[in-house]
Each structure stands twice: as C-alpha cells, then as structure tokens.
Structure 1
Amino acid sequence: MPRQNPPQPRLAQAAHGAARVASAHAEQAEIHRSLAPEVMAALVGAGFARHFVPAAHGGRAGQQTPGTDGGSFTALLPAVGALGAVCPSAAWCASIMAGLARMAAFLPEEGRKQLWQDGPDAVIVGSVSPKGRARHTEGGWLLSGEWPYVSAVSHSDWALVLGLVEQPDGGTERRMFALRRAVYRIERTWSDIGMRGTGSDSLVAEDVFVSTSLTFRAEDLMAGRAPGPAARCHTVPLPVVNGLFFTLPMLGAARGALAQWLALAEKRLHALGPGVPGPGRSLYEETLARSSGEIDAAELLLGRVTALADSGTDVTAKDAARCQRDCALAADLLVGAVERLFRSAGTAGHSEHSPLQRLWRDVHSAAGHVVLQFGPAAMAYAQQVLSPPAP
C-alpha cells in the first residue's frame, strides 16, 4: 500500500496558493519596491492576518475546532517557507503581518474591538524601535515620531508602534500605540538592494491623539502578559519568538535557492565530459551536501523554537536567550548555505534574470536585521549560562 503523506495544516495549504500568486508578481515587486495588491490580497486570504487574532474577534487563536492550526507558531514554518521559496518579500510581509496581529492582542478589550471591528483580516504593520515620543493628555496621549523600515506599510489598515513616555521621575516608559491608517503618513525611503518588494518605507506621525484603549505597556509584550483570557500564543514573551518572524522567510528563500541551484547544476553536470572546461563533479557534490545540510540544520533550530513557543510551558530567561541564539545562528547558517550555492552556480546563476541572484540578495538583506545579529544573541545567551565575571 503506498505511503500517504499526512494532511497539511490549514495555513500551509493556503500558503501554497498564495505562493503561486506571489511568484507571478515577484519581478513586479522588485521594480515597484512593494507587493502588488493581488499578492497582499492572497496573503490575507491565506489567513496570515488572522492567524494570531483572538477567536473572540473572529481570528484563529484559541479556537477549539479540532485540526485548526490557529495561533500555532509551528504552522508558520511551512507556510512562510512556501512563500519564501518563490518570493522572500511576500514571505516577510506575511510573517510580519502575523506577528503584528499577535502584538495587537495585547491591547485592552475596547481597543481590540476597535481594531478588529470590521473583521480579523485587518493588515497591521509596525515597529518596536523606540522612535516615537508621547506625552499625556486628557483621555490618552499625543504621539509623534518617524519609524523607518515598516514593511508593507502602504498596504496597512493599522500600525502598532513604540513610543517613549516621559515619567515624573525623569525616566521613560515604553508603550505600544495603535494608529489608524488615516492618522499617519508614509515616506518612500526604502532603498535596500534586497527584500525590495517588502516596501519597508517610513511611517510618520505628528501629534496624533491615541486613546487609552489603543495603547499598552511594551513591557507586557516583552513578558507575554496579554490581558485574559489569553490564548497560549499570547502568553509567549516576545524575545522567544521575535527572531522567528524574520528568519522563517530566510529559510524559505534558502530552500528556493537550493532548488534553483539544483536545476543549474544538473545542466552543468550533463555538459561535463573530456575536454569540457569547468569544475568537476566533486564541487557540485560537496556544495549540495554542505548547503542542504546547513539549511536542514537551520530548520531544526527554528523548529525547536516553535515547539517551545507552542508548548505552553513556562519560559525561563535561559530559554528565551537560547531561542534568540538559535534564530541568529540559523540566519548565519542560511547565509552561508546560500552564499556557497550562489558562488558555485556560475554566471548563469548570477544573471539579473536569474531568480537565484534575487534570493541571494534577499537572504543577505534579511540577515542584516538587528534581531538576527549573532554577537548580541551570543552575549545574552552567555550571560544566562556562564558564571558572572569576577569583580
């Protein structure tokens, strides 16, 4: 009897359909530095926007329906990966869209009702960089700031951004503020050589009034203290999973690069023969084994992070530091694997018409994200494992 593959989770199944749309528009996204409306519609239709939205607001997080994968971090791995293999920019935006909706679940109930009053598919973008300043006023705050690198901002319905609030003692409190699309403007500042289609332009707010219902302390997000009753995915501290949302698109891109390289390598191997110039078969064998192994290793690391996030167990500071290390290490492995594939592909893979060079650029660009820098992740992990230095 032939072996049957297990059924794919709902999000992963839908992501394959969205990937076909994203693939058809990948070159257009490069040119326009933004995803086509058809691609964003496909991502929303696949369920990325609602994946972490509480069931009480029409989303999938906390659903009790058997077989649902709503709110699962593990479900993101194959779903984002399917997109990343053909269009890392689409994968990045899908991943960010899901991650920002998870953050929005930390708003007070009244704020959540406002944000998802038209349904759970609102496109939420944002930034946790402290680029804003807020001051108290009656009923809320006045917020101003400019947040760069806000992916998919031109397609957004809402934004969730971090602002600093001055305290009477001279200190500052970090708060997250939810902004309607009508109250902020976009400046076209995205010029990176990779991930061009993410449209990661700047968001600008000037003395925008934000009611108390549309803000929460950033510390609650960092610690996983969502207002109850909270689904499991809303109790995970941000440092545990933050790197996932940026590394999963890289994993998909690396898988796509490997597929592109294999097609080129097969052509080169068929052409090998006496007197034919070029590298021998051993180069392709070694490149295949090492790069595919590194990609597999990265997937195992990220799988461990998603498994911990989905386990519902209490997460220690050491666990969080290890997850940060694993994501940063996975990013390094993926960059190395794709770099090797690109270098050995020859000029055919380096052509501007080759998808391989786009995937190579995208992986390098994604790895530049501050969350994926290995040095800080290594330091944070070492502080949890090694004895403190002697005075």
Structure 2
Amino acid sequence: MSQAVLDNVRDLLPGLRERAEETERLRVVPEANIKELEEAGHFKLLQPRRFDGYESDPIDFYTSVRLISSACGSTGWVSSVVGVHPWQVALFADEAQQAVWGEDTNVRLSSSYSPTGKATVVEGGYQLSGKWSFSSGCDHCSWVLLGGLVFDGEGNVVDFKTFMLPRSDYTIVDVWHMVGLAGTGSNDIIVDDVFVPEAFTLSMGQTGQCKGPGQEQNTSDLYKLPFHSIFTNTITTPIIGLAMGAYDEHVEMQQKRTRAAYLGEKASLDPFAAVRIAKASSEIDAAWALLVANIREEQDYVAKGEKIPLKTRLKVRRDQVLGSQRAIDAIDALFEASGGRALANGTYLQRAWRDAHAGRVHAANDPERALQMYGALEFGHKIDPGMY
C-alpha cells in the first residue's frame, strides 16, 4: 500500500508546485493541498492499521515528505510534522486513541513540544495552562500535542509530558509572518487552565525508553523505535527534499542560461559549474543515505528484540543534524551559482533557500548539542537524558 501512496504523491507534485506562491501569500497550506494529501493516503502512513492506517515503514513516510518538499517547502514541512503525529498517538492509552480516531480516522493533530506550559497534578489528571509557539499546520487539525512540565503540590517538577487536547480546549493565535516556511501557518496555541485526563498524557521519560501504553494494542515494531529518532528526522527530511528540488531547478536553469559576462558562454559548458553540481549532489545523497541507513540499523535491533544501543541512537542524531547542514550547504552552493534570475519571485530556488534556512533554526537542528552528546559518549562520559 505504501507504494500506491508514493505513486499518488508523485502525481500531486505539479499542482503543489504551482500553488507554492499561493501557499506563501496565504501564510498557511491551502486546503486543496491538505485534501489531496489526505486522499493520497499520506497522513495515514504511520497510523495504526486498526484505525485504517498503513503502519508503513518510516522510510516510506520520509520518502513521501521528501517528494512533497521538492515541490513546495511549506507543504512538505506540514506534511512531515503533522504526518508523524499518528506515530505518537499510537503510543497513548487506548482511551486517547479512541477519542482521536474512534469516529473519524482522518483526524489530524498539530504539536508544540517545547515545555512552555505548566501542568499541576490533580485527581484523575492535570490542570494545564500555557502558551506554545510554532504549531505548524494547526489550522488543519482538530487536536494538538503539547509539551509541559508537571508540578506537584509543593511546586516541584515531577515529570515532562506530552498532553493531548481537543480543539475545544485551546485557542489558535495567528502570529505567523515569516520570511521562510512562510506558508506553514505555525501559529501560537493558548491553553487556559484546562483539565487533561491521565490517559491523554504520555511521559517523555517513558517514550525515551521506547515504551508507551498504546503498544498493548499497536504491537508493530514501527512503534518500538525511539521517539527522537523518528521525530527529529521529520525536521531534516523536508530540508533534504528542498535541496533535491533546488538541485533539479538549478540544473534546468543552467542548461538554458547564457552568461553575458563570459561572451554568451552557455553556463552548462562551464567546468566549474559541473564541479559545483557534483559536490552538491553528493552532499544531498549523503544526507539521505545516512538517514535511511541509520533508521534501518535501529529497525534491525527492534526486529531482533534487542535494545537499541545508546551509541546508535546518538549516531542517528549526529547524522540527522549534519544531514540538515549538508542539504543547506548544497542549496547555498546552488543558489550562489544560479545567477540573478534565481532571485525572481516565483522561482523554487529562492524559496528553497529561505525555507531551508528557516528549518535550520528548529530545535531539532541544534548541531552542537547533538554532536557533543555523541563525542562525549565516545570519550566515555555519562550522557544525560536528552533528545536521542
């Protein structure tokens, strides 16, 4: 079934690319894009089969995101961060899964995981309040996943959880006016003293151990992979897709371009231009190849019933942040070598340049922290719990 979804997505790419400028003007992915991706099956790739999902290989999901991003960066970003949420919902207690998908298996969720909210322990659950930023695609979703610190009655932090709330329990504030990923509608979420039942929460300590109550119902190996391996690569994959789209447009432009400063020489005959695209393509291929290889390595451990070594998980993060950087470096090199026409409104290249650099500032792409963890482990130092 995954192959059928990928074939469907490929058919959508010309239309997504044609609407890319509209997406930026609207500051939100057009409803037509979301509807087409829904009908293509994209949002169900990581959804449990018992809720009409496909329980696909995560590489199939990333491939779909990569394709979408090669046509429209904002749509690709939203397809990634919204499309990955069914994977986490599958880890919640069955009561929460039924609340989300029991009546409509096409329900979507947005998120904001930074623990900027505060939850207090009360009988049966938590009282949650706060403001969260950067909830991409939230206008197309009827539930939200929010990160929050949990405090006991004495004011001590006792947990860090993800809280799942229906649309009636939060407010969206339109604040998204950005130069990159402008069409993602990554607006603020406000929650004012809402009760969240225990079943609608998930401890990040538990997910850090590759566990969740939903594994009782959803027994696939898909849901035994590390949270941060799956989620951080949803941030890198759109950037790789942007690089692939930029590469294709650059090659096409250079085949048609003549360089006035060099007596009308065809740009494609410039040997330095050939070297640039060779280097850029290698960086893009390396970013993708390492992403795939690392997820495959984790899958092999899960299939054998073995615990994934910490070094492997840190390697995933190492190559994830460097994969983002490799893709951005490729886009930079292509953009710089494309000539003045690449600056024109409507070109994919200038939009990819802006979108990729916007994606670079996401917390998942903080290279120093990810690389420091890997290096510290190699030196034999203790690694504190974090994004791995």
TM (norm. structure 1) is 0.90
Check the 8 A contact 1:104/1:160 in 2, yes or no: no
Check the 8 A contact 2:121/2:152 in 1, yes or no: no
1:388 and 1:124 map into 2 onto residues whose CA distance is 38
**Residue aligning to 1:224:** 210
Q: Which runs of 5+ in 2 are unaligned?
A: 383-388
Cα deviation code 1:205-261 (max 9, x no counterpart): 111121222112121222210223332121111122222101111111111101110
**Residue aligning to 1:87:** 72
Aligned residue among 12, 22, 26 for 2:16: 22
Aligned residue among 5, 12, 32 for 2:26: 32
Aligned residue among 11, 15, 34 for 2:5: 11
Check the 8 A contact 2:283/2:326 in 1, yes or no: yes
Check the 8 A contact 1:240/1:319 in 2, yes or no: no
> Bigger CA drift: 100-109 or 143-152?
100-109
1:218 and 1:274 map into 2 onto residues whose CA distance is 58
Q: Which amino acid aligns with 2:115?
A: P
**Residue aligning to 1:339:** 332
Check the 8 A contact 1:328/1:377 in 2, yes or no: yes
Check the 8 A contact 2:78/2:184 in 1, yes or no: yes
- 1:324 is the counterpart of 2:317: yes
**Residue aligning to 1:180:** 166
> Bigger CA drift: 82-91 or 301-310?
301-310
Q: Which runs of 5+ in 1 are unaligned?
A: 1-6, 62-69
- 1:77 is the counterpart of 2:84: no
Give the superposed CA RMSD.
2.1
Secondary structure at the aligned position of 1:143 is classed as strand
**Residue aligning to 1:192:** 178
Aligned residue among 215, 234, 239 for 2:223: 234
Check the 8 A contact 2:67/2:241 in 1, yes or no: yes
Secondary structure at the aligned position of 1:11 is classed as helix
* CA distance 1:267–1:55, shift in 2 (3 Å): same
**Residue aligning to 1:145:** 130
Displacement after TM superposition at 1:167 (Å): 2.9
Aligned residues: 373
Cα deviation code 1:283-336 (max 9, x no counterpart): 211111111111111111111133134332531111110000011111111111
**Residue aligning to 2:341:** 348
* CA distance 1:243–1:232, shift in 2 (3 Å): same
Cα deviation code 1:259-300 (max 9, x no counterpart): 11011111125x689733797702211111111111111111
**Residue aligning to 2:116:** 131
Check the 8 A contact 1:261/1:341 in 2, yes or no: yes
Check the 8 A contact 1:184/1:206 in 2, yes or no: yes
Displacement after TM superposition at 1:383 (Å): 1.9
Secondary structure at the aligned position of 2:53 is classed as coil
- 1:250 is the counterpart of 2:239: yes
**Residue aligning to 2:295:** 306
* CA distance 1:8–1:186, shift in 2 (3 Å): closer
Q: Give the share of equivalent positions with the same residue, in percent.
A: 24
2:12 and 2:309 map into 1 onto residues whose CA distance is 36
